[in-house]
């Protein structure tokens, strides 16, 4: 199996380490729009993201992983490439503990020392980062990012594109709306509306500023 990593930042380094733990997968190259042209170095191809079509013709059994931490950018790339989800690979670190009844979507990455418990459902292109806990019956929608050491208690629901900050804690049954952000270290005891940022203990929300 050949894999192409999209993105060359810090997050892609961690994804690369997970890929290298699987002896049956070969990294064919990197795509990033900071590259203006194609070149090959150490048998790896480097090219802009638009080269994905060329690579699909060149390699058999080619898959992609979008190794970029920014939720909106991951979605923009998926929309731009317009590939069916089976073209994306899901990666789970060998040290992660995943319940047999949990479901994890295409293009998602589960990092080292995470726990994903019974009947949790994780969507497509989600990041479940190092040491985080996703408890039973959680629902995490596409393009969300659960940062390191965050804890989502039972039956938590995260909307599309939500970002849960490092070390945040969410009590059971709370809902976080689409494209909301929970600040690092926050404790969420009430549901958080879409397109807001919530910080503090307990977390209080305000409308997100446009970027």
Distance CA 185, CA 107 (A): 27
Residue 18: how many other CB atoms lie within 10 Å: 21
Per annotation, catalytic residue among 70, 93, 125, 136: 136
Is the torsion defined by CA of 35, 38, 44, 48 positive or negative? positive
**Run of H or E residues at 187:** strand 187-188
Distance CA 98, CA 47 (A): 34
DSSP-assigned letter for residue 83: -
Residue bearing tokens 């729009």: 33
Distance CA 143, CA 105 (A): 10
The verdict on whether omega for the bond into residue 206 sits within 30 degrees of 0, i.e. cis, is no
DSSP-assigned letter for residue 74: H
145 is catalytic: no
What's the longest Cα–Cα distance across the chain? 53
Let me know: does 38 contact 51? Beta carbons within 8 Å. yes
Question: Annotated active-site positions, please?
Answer: 136
């Amino acid at each position: 199996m050949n894999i192409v990593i999209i993105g060359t930042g810090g997050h892609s380094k961690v994804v690369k380490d997970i890929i290298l733990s699987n002896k049956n997968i070969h990294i064919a190259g990197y795509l990033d729009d900071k590259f203006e042209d194609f070149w090959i170095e150490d048998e790896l191809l480097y090219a802009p993201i638009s080269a994905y079509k060329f690579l699909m013709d060149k390699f058999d059994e080619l898959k992609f992983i979008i190794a970029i931490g920014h939720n909106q950018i991951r979605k923009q790339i998926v929309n731009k490439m317009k590939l069916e989800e089976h073209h994306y690979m899901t990666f789970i670190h060998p040290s992660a503990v995943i319940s047999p009844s949990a479901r994890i979507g295409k293009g998602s990455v589960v990092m080292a020392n995470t726990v994903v418990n019974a009947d949790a459902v994780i969507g497509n292109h989600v990041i479940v980062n190092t040491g985080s806990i996703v408890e039973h019956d959680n629902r995490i929608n596409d393009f969300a990012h659960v940062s390191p050491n965050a804890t989502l208690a039972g039956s938590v629901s995260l909307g599309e594109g939500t970002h849960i900050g490092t070390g945040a804690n969410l009590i059971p049954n709370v809902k976080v709306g689409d494209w909301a952000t929970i600040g690092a270290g926050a404790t969420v005891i009430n549901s958080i509306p879409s397109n807001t940022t919530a910080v503090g203990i307990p977390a209080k929300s305000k409308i997100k500023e446009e970027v």
